[in-house]
Structure 1
Amino acid sequence: MIAISDIHGNLNLFQMLLEKVFYTQHDILFLVGDLIEKGNMSLKTLRYIIELAKINEVYIVSGNHDTIWEDIKNQKDDENLLRYMILQKNSILNEMCYELSIEVNEKSDIKYIKKQIMKNFSCEIEWLEQLPHIIETQNFIFAHAGITSENLEEQDASKVMKNDAFLEQGLVFSKYVIVGHWPTANYGREKGCCNPIIKKEQKIISIDGENIIKTEGQLNALIINGNDVEVRINKRMWQGKRVS
C-alpha cells in the first residue's frame, strides 16, 4: 500500500515519485486529496490519475481543492469565480479555458465559460464530483485533512477536507488515520523539515510535504507493508461551497 497526498497538479514530480518507490500494478495506491490546483499541470494530472485508476487498484479521497467542480455547477458566485481564475493562474479552470482557446480576463463572460467547461469537460467534472471523502481499510482511515471521531457516518465533509493542524487537536484513534492538507513543516518538529510525521500514541500519520506551496517542499510517499486489502469507502457527499 502506498499513500500520497497533495499532488497539486505537479504531474512530473508525481510520476517521478511513483517510479522512485517502484510502484507497480500489484500495489494499492491511495491518493489523499488535493490532486489539482496550484501546480501548472492540473488537467494533465487529473487525466493521468483517472486513467491510472482504470487499470490499477487506486483509491482517492477528495481534498478541498478537488471540489472546484462545485463552482462550475453552482449558479451563484460567478463574480468570485472569475476573480479566482484571474488571481489563481495555476488553476485547472484556466487550463480548460486554454485548451478551448478561451481568454480569461476581467471582461470575460463567466457564464459562457462555465457552460463551455461543463460541455467539454463533463467527464473530468463528474469524476471529481463522485470522489468520496473518507476511505477505510481494516487498519487505516484515509481522509484529506482529518476526522473528529471514528464514527465516519457522522463526519462533516467540509471539516474532513479542511481541518488545520489536525495533529495538535489531542485526538487518539484505534486505527491509524492518514492525512495530508496541513504541511508537516508547519508543526515545527524540525525546522524546515517536510518529512511525514508518525504519531504512534495518537495513531495519526501526516504526509503533506508542502509540494508546490514552497520551493523547499516535497512530495511524500508513505509505504505500508502488509496485506491490509479490505477497503470500505465512505460515499457521503457534501454539497456546498468549495473550501479554499
Structure 2
Amino acid sequence: MEFETKVQFLTQPEHNRRTIVISDIHGHRAWLEKLLKKVDFSEKDILIIVGDMIEKGPESLNTIRYIMELCEKYTVYPMMGNVDLWRIQMLLTEDGSLDQELYETNERMRQYWKATFFQDFCREAGVSVKTPEEIPAAREAVVAKFQKELTFMKELPTILVTPAFTFVHGGLVHEKLEDNFHLPPFQLLKNDNFINQGKHFDKYVVVGHWPVCLYRSDIESSAPYISEEQKIIAIDGGCGIKRDDQLNALIIPDLYSEKTTWESVDDFPEAVVLEDQEAGASSINIRYYESELKILEPGPVFSLAEHIKTGYQLKIYNGFLEEPPVKGAPNTCWEYTDYQIPLKKGDRVSILQKTPEGTMVRKRGVTGWYYGKLEEAEK
C-alpha cells in the first residue's frame, strides 16, 4: 500500500491558547500520562503529537488507544512518524510483499525491546506467529480486528502548518514549505540529523525523530534543542531509545508567537545535592556513531581512554565500555560524557548511574558527573 504526504493546516487557532507538543512516545503510555499531568494539560489546551507513538516501549497498542481517547475528549493533533508509517504499511500491504520484512522486524524488536506493536495486536487477536509462514494469516486477523486503530493511524498527517510553527516528525527536505507537499512521506519522516543539514526557514519547524542528545559534541543534553538562526526546534528526548532517556513537552503559550518553554519526565530516582560543584574545564559527548576508544590505563572502576576520532583523553566508567567486536579492534562505549556538571546545594537531580567514584546525574536535561554528597529526594 502506497502512502502520500498529507498536509493539515491550522490557520486560525485561538490566540493565547497554550499548545503542548510531544514527540517520540514510543509505546510509553505511562510516561505520556505522567507528562500531561505534570504540565496540567486540560481542555483549555491544544496537544500536538509529532509522530512515533509506537514501538521500543512496553505498551504500543495501549498508547495508540490512549491517544485516540485524548482525541475524543480534547483538542489533539496526532501526526505520523516514520515508525508508525512503516508498521502500518507492512500491515496493510495485502500482496504479501512485506510479510518477510514484517516478520524480521517484529523479531528484532521483540528480542531487543521485548514488546512490539504487532505482538500486541496478535496477542489480543488470539493468534501466534513463530515462523514467517504464519504472517499472512496473522496479518489478516489483525487487520480484521483492529480496523478502528489502523484507520486512525493511516489517516495521520505528515505535516501540520500553524501561524508561527510547522510540525513534521523528521524534518523538511526543502526550505520552501510548499515544495515538500508532494514528496514521499518517508523523506519527511525519517530525516536524520536535521539541524546539521544547514537549512534555514521563515518560521520555526518543530521536529522529533533524531534524539537531541546527538546534536552536541561537548555536553550531553536531552533538553529541546533550539536553533534560532535556522528556526528549528528538535524535541526528541530519546524516550525508549537512549540509556538516559526522557520524554519532553515543548510548551507554546500562543501559536502566533515564537515563545516556548518546556518540561520533561523520566523514570529515574531523584536526589538532592548537598554540596556545590563547579563546571569542569573541558568535556566530551561521545555519540554512538563515533564511539571508538583506545584504553590507555585500565582501572577497577574508571579507565583512562582516548577517543579515537578526536584524540581527547577521558576517564570512562567501565560499566559503559563494550568489548571490541573482533579481536584487535578498538573498544567502543555506550554514548558517554565526562562532563562535570555545575550544581548548587539544594538542586534536585535525576540519578542515572551510581559508582564508587562519582554519580552520573541529570539536571534540567543536562547529563554530567557529580562528585559530592546526595540525599534521596522525597517523591
CA–CA separation in structure 2 for the residues paired with 1:158 and 1:92? 19
Please, which of 222, 236, 239 is the counterpart of residue 250 of structure 2? 222
Indicate the residue corresponding to 1:169 in structure 2. 197
Structure 2: unaligned runs, 5 residues or longer: 1-18, 258-379
CA–CA separation in structure 2 for the residues paired with 1:115 and 1:100? 10
CA–CA separation in structure 1 for the residues paired with 2:84 and 2:36? 21
Indicate the residue corresponding to 2:171 in structure 1. 146
Question: Following TM superposition, by how much is the alpha carbon of 1:215 offset from its aligned partner in structure 2, in angstroms?
Answer: 2.7
Structure 1: unaligned runs, 5 residues or longer: 230-244
Indicate the residue corresponding to 1:50 in structure 2. 68
CA–CA separation in structure 2 for the residues paired with 1:165 and 1:45? 26
CA–CA separation in structure 2 for the residues paired with 1:117 and 1:158? 24
Q: Would you tell me which structure has more helix in proportion to its own residues?
A: 1
Indicate the residue corresponding to 1:79 in structure 2. 100
Indicate the residue corresponding to 1:242 in structure 2. none
Question: Following TM superposition, by how much is the alpha carbon of 1:40 offset from its aligned partner in structure 2, in angstroms?
Answer: 1.1
Indicate the residue corresponding to 2:82 in structure 1. 64
CA–CA separation in structure 1 for the residues paired with 2:109 and 2:73? 33
In terms of Rg, which structure is larger? Answer: 2
Question: Following TM superposition, by how much is the alpha carbon of 1:54 offset from its aligned partner in structure 2, in angstroms?
Answer: 1.4
Q: Deviations over 1:149-172 (max 9, x none)?
A: 222424442111010000001111
Report 1:113-132 matches (<5 A). 113-132=138-157
Report 1:199-218 matches (<5 A). 199-218=227-246
Q: Deviations over 1:210-231 (max 9, x none)?
A: 01102301000000112549xx
Question: Following TM superposition, by how much is the alpha carbon of 1:105 offset from its aligned partner in structure 2, in angstroms?
Answer: 1.4
CA–CA separation in structure 2 for the residues paired with 1:80 and 1:157? 19
Aligned-partner residue type, residue 18 of structure 1 = L
Please, which of 185, 201, 208 is the counterpart of residue 213 of structure 2? 185
TM-score by length of 2: 0.58
Equivalent pairs, count: 229
TM-score by length of 1: 0.90
Q: Deviations over 1:94-143 (max 9, x none)?
A: 01111123222126511100110011011111111101100000110000
Please, which of 104, 107, 128 is the counterpart of residue 103 of structure 1? 128
Q: Deviations over 1:55-100 (max 9, x none)?
A: 2111121000111111011121212211222221222110111112
